[in-house]
Amino acid sequence: MTQRIDYQKQSPELFQKFSEFSLALKKSVIEQSIRDLVNIRASQMNGCAFCLDMHVKEATLHEERPLRLHHVAIWRESTLFSARERAALAWTEILTQLPAHGVPDDVYEYVRTQFSEKELSDLSFQVMAINGWNRVSVGFRAEPGTRDKVFGLDKSGLA
């Protein structure tokens, strides 16, 4: 397997700015539980082992129920998510895998029934951020669990 570069060391200024952007999202109007679900679902869709591992551990630290974490991948069939959470997951999926002709009006209208304009804007930036992290983590093969201690994820009990 080819050794990949350390993008954090190669582009420290850009890494720092993107990290600051991601940290700013913690002050968004979107509740933490939805931000956790968004991060998990996008990471599943993008096949990002590092981010999926990280965000499951974060959600656990935020006291998310284990069964709900297992159901994120099957959220449409699960009865464990609220209408607002379902709308957030639908928005995450459509922005993560953009259709050839853009976001259909029916999906947009559905999501708008659950989110204000400000909330939808903040939610979109959350989806944008996790997709960015997924892409660099997949591209440079970030190894799951290697930053647990730095991020305090070792306290999740999911080593």
User: Phi and psi at residue 116, in whole multiples of 5°?
Assistant: -70, 170
Distances (CA, A) of 82 to 13, 41, 115: 39, 15, 13
Question: Where are the chain's structural domains?
Answer: 14-145
How far is it, in rounded angstroms, from Cα 135 to Cα 78?
28
- As a whole number of angstroms, the distance between CA 45 and CA 73 comes to 9
Q: Which residues contact 129 (CB under 8 A, 6 or more apart)?
A: 18, 21, 22, 25
Q: Could you list the pLDDT tens digit for every one of the 159 residues in the chain?
A: 888 999 999 999 999 999 999 999 999 999 999 999 999 999 999 999 999 999 999 999 999 999 999 999 999 999 999 999 999 999 999 999 999 999 999 999 999 999 999 999 999 999 999 999 999 999 999 999 999 999 999 999 998
Report the topology of domain 14-145.
AhpD-like (1.20.1290)
Q: How crowded is the C-beta side of 51, counted as CA atoms within 13 Å?
A: 26
